[in-house]
C-alpha cells in the first residue's frame, strides 16, 4: 500500500469511529434525559368521552 492509500484509510476509519461515538453519545443522552425527568401535569383542553386518555393528574 502506498502512503497515500494508508492515510486515506486512516481518515475514513477515524471518521467512522467519530460517527459511531457521536451516535452512542446521543443515545446515552436520550436515555439519561428520559430516566431523570418527569414532566409536570398540564391542563387538558378536552375532558369527558372525547378525551384521548385519562390524565394521571386528576384527583377523581
Q: Is 33 part of a structural domain of the chain? A: yes
Q: Is 31 part of a structural domain of the chain? A: yes
Q: Is 56 part of a structural domain of the chain? A: no
> pLDDT tens digits, residue range 4-57?
999 999 999 999 999 999 999 999 999 999 889 877 776 656 656 666 666 666
Helix (H) or strand (E) holding 14: helix 3-36
Please, what's the largest Cα pairwise distance for the chain?
Answer: 75
Q: Is 55 part of a structural domain of the chain? A: no
Distance of CA 38 to the CA centre of its chain: 16
Domain that holds residue 10: 1-37
2 pLDDT band, cuts 50/70/90, is: confident
Q: Rounded to whole angstroms, how far apart are CA atoms 44 and 49? A: 13
Q: Is 48 part of a structural domain of the chain? A: no
Q: Is 60 part of a structural domain of the chain? A: no
Number of domain units in the chain? 1
Amino acid at each position: 500500500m502506498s502512503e497515500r492509500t494508508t492515510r486515506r484509510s486512516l481518515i475514513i476509519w477515524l471518521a467512522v469511529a467519530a460517527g459511531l461515538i457521536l451516535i452512542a453519545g446521543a443515545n446515552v443522552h436520550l436515555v439519561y434525559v428520559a430516566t431523570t425527568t418527569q414532566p409536570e401535569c398540564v391542563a387538558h383542553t378536552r375532558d369527558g368521552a372525547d378525551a384521548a386518555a385519562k390524565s394521571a393528574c386528576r384527583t377523581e
